[in-house]
Structure 1
């Protein structure tokens, strides 16, 4: 059964300090996210997918209240906010830094995919937020890269787990990851399912990780460039058994062949 988490939405006021209230998480979704932070009080947080940085600011404000010494690292493949042309990814956090006593505990990694910066971030991560393209292979690739650097009971938050039902039919990467990973799962619902979920790593997660690798057979919506996809593969080879690498190679070849057929 899915576990529930009490919403903790006192931190969203930080968004009123920005020049615009743009954010891609709702107040309720921030409440879910901050409820998890309040419950688990993480010491090392990694966020993959930054956009304007509104959620980054909310998380930092929440950490200030419940885990003030925590470090946060935000990773985005784009140096420019994809919905605010001319503005850097994470610009909203910069706008509110004077209101955060823990601002020095944050660091951006922009312009590179996760496997190219994860070694610099290092291990001991006990809380992660995956909120990138949502289309396959998207967050599946990032989780598989991140898992070896997570603590044994780390929490992973997934945004837009039901986005495919409302706006984008191809936006189901986070839901596929949520459903295939073996973990303790948090999924709040009553009359309406929140578009956000989370899971906590257990001793069963790694032994069952082939299921997540197998999910890469689902049709990809885009092809990462060769340098990036090889960076993921190289990272996987460091930590996973050969069966998982074989699955990755088989499905990668099949996805590339599929795209080439479509282009022919």
Structure 2
């Protein structure tokens, strides 16, 4: 079944634009239409977006739910301000271009979703994850929001094909994060039929079911090599969510993985510092010889 649906012409025109060379939307036309079509089809009331950026995808979700009574979208972005257009707030596109959608929209910036989601006090019908695309970011995002999703709700995951080039070569070894969580999910899944940027689908959706089994798979993904550092505050927030909502076995597995990652990270940093000291020692020696 295809969930693609064309955006209103005015919105599509805005999202194709750029400001100072930066694209307003990071989604291709087909990705946008998949998102718009799916949300229009399932008609969620309580929506969550993790990774807001300019607010292009927020605009699409809001447009799809605008006629649903009491519907809303909560956007969360770890960046306090737009990462490139620093004079703009996170999600500024909604207010600046589609003010008629603003009354259904709340944005929380500067904190990770794991630090905020318990305070929202709602169960969500729909969520979109579109964050760093570097492991383990998306895995931690999904672990964090799962307890707050309604059964049989849908979570859209963007950039599941980001690691691929148009000529079928691996683009980047550190862009597998979204693909990891999409591929490991056991249950109903959907993808777009095409993507203009890659040769494989770049957006997909998973249905929230078999949560306990899927959580174990997600935590196991954390054994994979991490492509980014994660602040201890975020790891502590994720752990609290696992401890509150899941089994002791899952908490213990998470603790073992994090302890191992910290141990390895400490070894790597020590090795790097040892190399720097050795290089500096050699430089000093060479300098002393040249000064003889």
TM-score, normalization: structure 1? Answer: 0.90
Q: Check whether the contact 1:223–1:256 (CA below 8 A) recurs between aligned residues.
A: no
**What are the within-5 Å matches in structure 2 for residues 41-56 of structure 1?**
41-56=43-58
Q: Which residue of 2 aligns with 1:13?
A: 10
C-alpha distance in structure 1 between counterparts of 2:157 and 2:39, whole Å: 14
Pair 12,193 (structure 1): closer, same or farther in 2 beyond 3 Å: farther
**What are the within-5 Å matches in structure 2 for residues 102-251 of structure 1?**
102-166=101-165, 167-189=171-193, 192-202=199-209, 204-251=210-257
Q: After alignment, is 53-62 or 38-47 more displaced? A: 53-62
Q: Gaps (5+ residues) in structure 2?
A: 166-170, 271-292
Instruction: State the Cα RMSD in Å.
Output: 2.0
C-alpha distance in structure 2 between counterparts of 1:188 and 1:97, whole Å: 26
Structure 2 counterpart SS, 1:198: strand
Pair 123,207 (structure 1): closer, same or farther in 2 beyond 3 Å: farther
Higher-Rg member (1/2): 2
Pairs aligned (count): 257
Pair 262,15 (structure 1): closer, same or farther in 2 beyond 3 Å: farther
Pair 12,113 (structure 1): closer, same or farther in 2 beyond 3 Å: farther
Q: Check whether the contact 1:180–1:212 (CA below 8 A) recurs between aligned residues.
A: yes
Q: Which residue of 1 aligns with 2:28?
A: 26
C-alpha distance in structure 1 between counterparts of 2:130 and 2:53, whole Å: 9
Q: Check whether the contact 2:31–2:192 (CA below 8 A) recurs between aligned residues.
A: no
TM-score, normalization: structure 2? Answer: 0.82
Structure 1 counterpart SS, 2:75: strand
- Post-superposition offset of 1:254: 1.8
- Post-superposition offset of 1:209: 2.1
